[in-house]
Amino acid sequence: MIAVIDYGVGNLFSVEKALLQFADDVVVTGDEKLILAADKLVLPGVGDFGECMSNLEATGLIPAIRQKIADGTPLLGICIGEQILFEGSEESPGAKGLGLFKGMVRRINAPGLKVPHMGWNSVNFSEPKYPLFKDLGEHPYFYFVHSYHCVPEDGSVITAVTEYGEQLTAAVAKDNVMATQFHPEKSGDVGLQVLKNFIEM
């Protein structure tokens, strides 16, 4: 079973719809028992870092999520679901993230370009290519909507980057935790391939 974690934010049902193209057992849930029983977890998120963390804390699900990660369950974070895996964000000073990745979320510095960064951007993968991006060609385009990006302390966790005024982190991974700044569920066939790869991991 794949559990899409429902904590009151995120593009939950478009994520569910995309996952259902490759798996029958997908649930959108805030039920701790279902999350603990899941084979894989998806953590979506849209909006404000602090609001997302506040909502997640209010559900009481954080201990269950941490337990599943410690047990080796694969977790995929999407958009703000990636950002809250870090320690904190310039967007919400004082709000603590989950701290699964060391580092901070910084505002995009793109003089002369509009922020938020909205639209399609090409992505460059780290070598060797992380399994989440198996069977994708070079420099595919993904859909982004964000004003902030993750800046890990350890650059080796970065699995993909994109360019928008500066080099931005497009995806990260460490052990069984992986995440994308872009929205695979809104990125056409290449995004669906990412979700398919996650299901098959």
Confidence of residue 11 (pLDDT cuts 50, 70, 90): confident
Active site residues: 79, 183, 185
Range list of β-strands (E), 45-174: 75-78, 88-89, 103-107, 117-125, 141-146, 148-152, 158-163, 167-174
Confidence of residue 9 (pLDDT cuts 50, 70, 90): confident
Range of the domain at 128: 2-200
Q: What value does the mean pLDDT take over residues 128-148?
A: 96
Q: How many domains does the chain have?
A: 1
| CATH number of the domain residue 82 falls in | 3.40.50.880
